[in-house]
Amino acid sequence: MKLLEAKDHLEMSRLAADIILEQVCNKSNSVLGLATGGTVLKTYQELILNHKENDISFAQVRTFNLDEYVGLSKKHENSYHSYMQKHLFNHIDIQSSNTFLPNGEAEDLERECISYEAMIDHMGGIDLQLLGIGQNGHIGFNEPGTSFNSKTHIIELEESTKLANSRYFNSLDEVPTHAVTMGISTIMQSRKILLLASGQHKASILHQLFKSDVTLDIPATILRNHPNVIIIADQEALSELHQLEGNVYAQ
Ligand code: GLP
């Protein structure tokens, strides 16, 4: 894993956007794996800015999102479908037929998982997967204990995850209990992975990501086995590593 140290959230976002833009410029029909959450918002704003000011086109780009809540209408303001429209897709020239998210409203969710996986394969696999990280080490919605061999599947969200995401809902009770998420094996098949971490609340998990052995208890540790991972973290997220190491390192 290669670690890039950013001064702050803005610098992290700009560095991340640069890597995504480089991917799109080198391969105009890139398949991007996309994430939701607070960490990646500014990165999306930077992509929009580059689209508007520097004419970077996403017309041929295909995208697959990591996850979607089960049972939430696509139109619900907290669905990841809405998030992507609002924070990225509506502001760039991507074709909506090229944007894919799991359908959390599917009548047959098992079948939805299989067809989502098949669609990723059909598009040639993911060139660059963007990831955030949960405070419990989840990637996508792959909670601790999820098999490293997992493909797209349905997962019951941990209490801590629901609590973390309840900030977007009126109450904790409104947070869906389940989600459809790309599996860990799906994520690991991406040719390149870009994980972002920002803020003091990510300092502990980032420290564990670098120092812990690969363990099911911290799903993100599997990334240590991937040959092409870049982690971009800001100073706050790196604070526990810095405390213990005295400096930043890459391995
Ligand atoms: C969410 C998403 C993840 C995201 C993570 C961190 O639950 N399913 O894809 O990376 O948790 O979110 P945030 O960036 O808001 O801290």
Domains and CATH numbers, the chain: 2-240 (3.40.50.1360)
> Which of 51, 87, 138, 207 is labelled catalytic?
138
Give the pLDDT confidence score for residue 173 in this predicted structure.
Answer: 95
In what side-by-side order are the strands of the sheet with 229-234?
2-6, 229-234, 192-197, 128-131, 31-34, 62-65, 99-100
Give the pLDDT confidence score for residue 249 in this predicted structure.
Answer: 45
Give the pLDDT confidence score for residue 251 in this predicted structure.
Answer: 42
Task: Kindly list the distances between the CA atom of residue 142 and the CA atoms of 35, 133, 171, 240, in Å, as whole numbers in the listed order.
Answer: 13, 10, 23, 24
Give the pLDDT confidence score for residue 243 in this predicted structure.
Answer: 79
Give the pLDDT confidence score for residue 247 in this predicted structure.
Answer: 47
Among protein residues, the one whose CA lies closest to atom 12 of ligand 1: 37
Sign of CA dihedral 60, 17, 150, 81: negative
Give the single-character DSSP code of 44.
H
Among protein residues, the one whose CA lies closest to atom 10 of ligand 1: 132
Give the single-character DSSP code of 90.
G
Q: What is the largest CA-CA distance in the chain?
A: 52
Q: Which of 34, 36, 152 to mutate to test the pocket of ligand 1 (most atoms within 8 A of CB)?
A: 36
Q: Could you give the residue ranges of the DSSP H alpha helices within the chain?
A: 9-26, 41-54, 80-87, 109-122, 159-165, 184-188, 203-211, 239-245
The Cα angle at residue 185 between residues 69 and 22, in degrees rounded to 5: 85
Structure tokens at 32: 């991007």
Three-state SS at 28? coil
Listed as ranges, residues in the chain with pLDDT below 70 are: 244-251
Q: Which of 68, 133, 209 to mutate to test the pocket of ligand 1 (most atoms within 8 A of CB)?
A: 133
173 is catalytic: no
**What distance in angstroms lies between residue 165's CA and the mean position of ligand 1's atoms?**
8
Give the pLDDT confidence score for residue 245 in this predicted structure.
Answer: 63
Among protein residues, the one whose CA lies closest to atom 5 of ligand 1: 134
218 touches 208 (CB < 8 A)? yes
Give the pTM.
Answer: 0.95
Closest C-alpha to 37, from 71, 76, 78, 74: 78
